[in-house]
Amino acid sequence: SGQPLLDQAAQRIVRLAAPFAPFTGDLSDIDRLEIIRTWKFARGDKLSSN
């Protein structure tokens, strides 16, 4: 986003979701995986995601 506070919050969400299971099967051969997630931050510590 370019907004330090929002970027830090998004990174924290990902870290709190860890640990992640290892890739299995065909996914284990992938060098890079891009996951796109949309988070909407609102006043009052509210968060929604798609």
Model confidence band, residue 19 (pLDDT cutoffs 50, 70, 90)? very high
DSSP 50: -
Give me the mean pLDDT over the 2-7 stretch.
86
Distances (CA, A) of 25 to 29, 33, 35: 8, 14, 18
Instruction: Supply the range of the domain harboring residue 33.
Output: 4-49
Asked if residue 30 has pLDDT above 70, the reply is yes
Asked if residue 8 has pLDDT above 80, the reply is yes
Of residues 48 and 16, more confidently modeled: 16
Total domains in the fold of the chain: 1
Of residues 2 and 35, more confidently modeled: 2
- The residue assigned the tokens 């609102």 is 42
Enclosing H/E stretch for 48:
strand 46-49
Asked if residue 9 has pLDDT above 80, the reply is yes
